[in-house]
Chains A and B, each alone.
Chain A
Amino acid sequence: MTNSFADFAKAKMLFVIGSNMTEAHPVASTFVKEAVLAGAQLIVVDPRRTPLVDFASLHVPIKVGSDVAFINGVMNVLIDEDLYDKDYVASCTTGFEQLKEKVAAYPPERAAEISGVSPETIRDVARRLAAVKPAMLIYTLGITEHICGVNNVLSCANLQMLLGNVGFECGGVNPLRGQNNVQGACDMGALPNVFPGYQKVDNPEARAKFEQAWNVPKLPEKPGLMIPQMIDGLLDGTVKAFYVFGENLANTEPDIRHVEHCLDSAEFLVCQDIFPTETTRFAHVILPAAAWSENDGTFTSSERRVNRVRTASAPPGEAKPNWWIFRELARRLGHPWKADSAQEIWDDEIACLAPSMAGIRYARLEKDGIQWPAPSEDHEGTSFLHKEGCFTCGLGVFSPVDWIPPAEVPDKEYPLVLSTGRRLYHYHTRTQTGRSQGIDDLLGEETADISPADAADYGIGHGEMISVRSRRGEVVVRANVTEQLPKGMVWMAFHFREACANWLTNPAYDPKTQTAEYKACAVQIAKLR
């Protein structure tokens, strides 16, 4: 997030796209609702009538996967009607002419055809957004989990720069991170192309710095593989050993059947986890790890805030902190690492190596955490980025993009769109919530959500068992007939193994990020006889 959660409640205009916040980020949504009670305008762009729509001044039910066309349409109106922030565009950005040329091809009428909302609505959205400054844009995985995920994100940034909304309190581009520490895992360099603090592995200076710090002669310079490539590599033999730390890939990746086949092909699979999972079944060695409240350390939240995690009890049996396990392995391979606690790892290594976190020390995290960048110990942290439109790398760059349809669109045989996500009561594959007493009582099984119109067409009653089938597989699941869904759409989560949406989802990926298109594939449904 460029901005902070504290901004949500103070915002005057909120533009929420592809985010079912009330269920996936409930506390964040309370601040949005608070802002609405205090008079803020809220525009919710989502194919579903999500619970947040009850608070919205406008709901824009675009078709699944039409985000770029819709946003280009809005920008077309902003430019056409001279509503964009000319001063900001002139002084803080570059690439406006290219953007203008690109979105000229998306007049509201064309954007409407693709997105399924009327040209008047597109104009209305543009005018409303231009009328209140700054407006805050919030998105979640509805934007990223597409083969055009990167382009969707760029569109959000284009829109906010055109409106002159980046660099101000209560403005900005704000992705809500799904998992507690996705932000942190990225910051720490658990990515194939960057060291901690986003220093590129193909930059010789960065490598030299880390070679010296880690006391090794040479670090690899070629960026590594991303998860889908690793998984496929198991099958074609380019990846022999696979080390899976804490992820239940056999349930979370699209096309479960294929993923399991790949995992089964691994020559050597190491799993490090707190529970046996569908994935650990394929392991050759399983290492038992300490859980959340069993070790000291830090998480970094969506708002770039580094927060402390503290020990409440000892891990069961022989389970050990993860950092300890990696250190012991390193030692066995001839690398004696010094750090003997999470605090030492942070204070003596991470803070010294990642310039944006240089000022963050455990001693400073006793109360509220610190939001990076915090480059020095007297820096109080940064609640919003790109202050007054001064972008970190000079000018904000417009990156015009074209709309492309999802990789798999409905056809005669598979006439409905399946989109997936999380529900309020559960978390991912339920390894944790399924074992927290009481949660299953509130939501004990998966459902396939369908619209009343489709239910009537297929003769399906609420609560009846149906089959949902895609080109990858089939699940049998209870139908949940709900006004939340538009006609032509099925919605499922991936919390329960048997009816997991990922038996069905399409392993098609964004070419840059290798993010899978969880949000769109084609399915057919049928009532069980």
Chain B
Amino acid sequence: MSDTTFILNGKETPFAPGQTILDAARDAGVVIPTLCYLKGAAPTGACRVCLVEVTGARSLVASCSTPVTPGMEVFTQSAKVLRSRKLVVELLLASGKHDCIVCEANGNCRLQDLAYACRITEMKFSPSEETYPVEDVNPFIVRDFNRCILCGRCVQACNEVVVNRAISFGYRGSKSKIVTGGDLPYNESECVFCGQCIEVCPVGALTEKKAKGMGRPWETEKIRTTCPYCGVGCQQLLHVKEGRIAKVTAVEDAQPNQGRLCVKGRFGYDFIYSEDRLKTPLIRQNGKFRESSWDEALDLVASKFKDIIVKHGPDAIAGVSCARSLNEDSYQMQKFFRAVLGTNNIDHCART
């Protein structure tokens, strides 16, 4: 036995110094379920779902916050572990309203997945009496604390990941709840609507308002793309049902954003469906625009350009490309100006 290994479910397994049981197990391909654990944030040990049995320890330990020691003997699936995990999940199910059919998170809920994996078939405890009004006064985020399991992931994401410091744990005991400063609605608080708290909420306590009714997780295709707003280039997943974006989430572990988005990247997607979109070519006639075919419009532009080149030379034409559009579009436009029209009068708002 070396001092860089431990015994995981009876097998000698390597670990890196300082690694938690959870991480070392994951590296070895052994998955321990978690709820509150948030990668990149300090473990809180709040939910007890990740409990494992360690030989010699007096009770089960939270694998997300316990470091491995050399030679440690760990069991992740012992009868004791399974029993305790099931109990934890049963208690969580009783802690609030978990009527999955009407929940926005149905199919994208870790609690639901855990209940299923633990083979829970009935509600063993009667649900808590405490109820909270659902907050949906802001345009983007629905907060329903009846579904909150107080895992604290949203608090960690807001304070440790995006560092917006808008929310924290408030009140005590059975009144415990996630609050903004002064327990105000999000839109009257420090919240900047980055939606990182939705991204990490394992249940349906925080959900996207605009996504409601737009598609269940198993109905949507996930398409990876790049945010169309600023120059950070955040990687997004478009959740698309029947050609319509239902919601946008961040691509986890992707460069550069590592699972983060801002308000524009997360919620600024539906402009493409605006009724105002230009749908056909338009030609001005007697001071008014009229619809035209592509052929007519393109022929007109081509012949106008030809005329102007003959009369005034190619440098009498100038063009501005678009810093929002594709590389390939800008490439084509500068090629069109240089190779076809014969002028270098091509620019874009490079410097603003």
- The interface of chain A, by Cβ under 8 A from chain B, is 4-6, 22, 24-28, 30, 33-34, 36-37, 55, 141, 144-145, 149, 176-193, 195-196, 201, 210, 214, 216, 218-220, 222-227, 230, 233, 238-247, 249, 252, 267-268, 270, 273-276, 283-289, 291-295, 297-303, 305-314, 316-323, 325-330, 332-335, 337, 342, 345-346, 349-350, 367-369, 424-425, 427, 431-439, 441-442, 510, 513-516, 518
Contact = CB atoms under 8 A, between A and B. Distances in A.
A249 B235 CA distance: 29
A510 B316 CA distance: 24
Interface in B299-352: 299-302, 304-306, 308, 311-312, 314-352
A333 B284 CA distance: 22
B331 A196 contact: yes
Contact of B257 (A27, A191, A230, A249): A27
Interface string B53-69: 00000000000000000
Interface stretch (B97-105, B116-124, B171-179, B274-282): B274-282
Nearest to A149: B351
19 contacts: A30-B163, A176-B232, A214-B339, A216-B339, A220-B338, A224-B337, A242-B319, A246-B325, A247-B322, A247-B323, A268-B308, A301-B231, A301-B233, A303-B256, A313-B272, A326-B332, A345-B331, A369-B226, A515-B351
Contacts of A287: 281, 297-298, 301
Nearest to A144: B351
Given A185-B330, A185-B348, A332 B299 contact: yes
B319 to A, nearest CB: 4
A5 B338 contact: no
A410 B349 CA distance: 27
Given A216-B339, A220-B344, A244 B319 contact: yes
B317 A239 contact: yes
- Candidate in B263, B317, B321, B340 with the most chain A CB atoms within 10 angstroms: B321
Contact of A333 (B265, B311, B322, B340): B340
Name which of B261, B280, B318, B340 has the most chain A CB atoms within 10 A of its CB.
B318
Interface stretch (B43-51, B187-195, B199-207): B187-195
Nearest to B209: A438
Given A179-B231, A244-B320, A227 B347 contact: yes
B271 interface: yes
A345 B301 CA distance: 23
Nearest to B305: A241
Interface string B220-256: 0001111111111111001010011100000000111
Contacts of A310: 223-225, 238
A208 to B, nearest CB: 13
Contact of B163 (A37, A186, A367): A37
A518 B334 CA distance: 27
Given A274-B277, A298-B328, A303-B233, A224 B318 contact: yes
Contacts of A286: 278, 281-283, 289
Contacts of A183: 231
A291 B76 CA distance: 50
B328 to A, nearest CB: 4
Given A214-B339, A220-B343, A275-B277, A433 B264 contact: yes
Nearest to A344: B328
Nearest to B187: A442
B210 interface: yes
B53 to A, nearest CB: 34
Contact of A192 (B228, B299, B347): B347
B184 to A, nearest CB: 15
For the complex of A and B, 10 pairs with smallest distance between CB atoms: A301-B233, A317-B279, A246-B322, A438-B139, A177-B231, A224-B344, A297-B326, A26-B262, A288-B278, A33-B163
A259 B135 CA distance: 46
Given A275-B274, A318-B279, A427-B264, A180 B301 contact: no
Contacts of B284: 283-285
Band of interface residues on B: 35 or more
B326 A319 contact: no
B326 A181 contact: yes
B308 A181 contact: no
A252 B305 contact: no
B294 interface: yes
Main secondary structure of the interface of B (DSSP, over half): mixed
Count chain A CB atoms within 10 A of each CB in B302, B306, B352 and give the residue with the most: B352
B283 A285 contact: yes
A313 B240 contact: yes
B291 to A, nearest CB: 9
A36 B165 CA distance: 14
A398 B260 CA distance: 38
A432 B228 contact: yes
A26 B225 contact: no
Nearest to A288: B278
B270 interface: yes
For B192, B230, B243, the residue with the greatest tally of chain A CB atoms inside 10 Å of its CB is B230
Given A141-B352, A239-B317, A433-B268, A180 B231 contact: yes
In this complex, the member of B228, B270, B278, B341 whose beta carbon has the largest number of chain A beta carbons within 10 angstroms is B278
B183 interface: no
Contacts of B192: 22, 26, 424
A238 B317 CA distance: 9
Contact of A181 (B314, B323, B345): B323
Nearest to B274: A435
A437 B227 contact: no
A462 B326 CA distance: 42
A510 B345 CA distance: 19
B320 A220 contact: no
A145 B238 CA distance: 34
Given A28-B232, A432-B229, 8 more contacts: A25-B232, A176-B231, A185-B321, A191-B334, A305-B255, A328-B298, A345-B328, A439-B268
Contacts of A240: 308, 311-312, 316-317
Given A224-B318, A241-B304, A245-B325, A302 B231 contact: yes
Contact of B160 (A37, A314, A425): A37
A523 to B, nearest CB: 20
B301 A294 contact: no
B145 interface: no
A510 B283 CA distance: 36
Contacts of B139: 437-439, 441-442
Contacts of A432: 228-229, 268, 271
A371 to B, nearest CB: 9
A176 B316 CA distance: 34
A220 B243 contact: no
B240 A312 contact: yes
A326 B228 contact: no
A188 B323 CA distance: 11
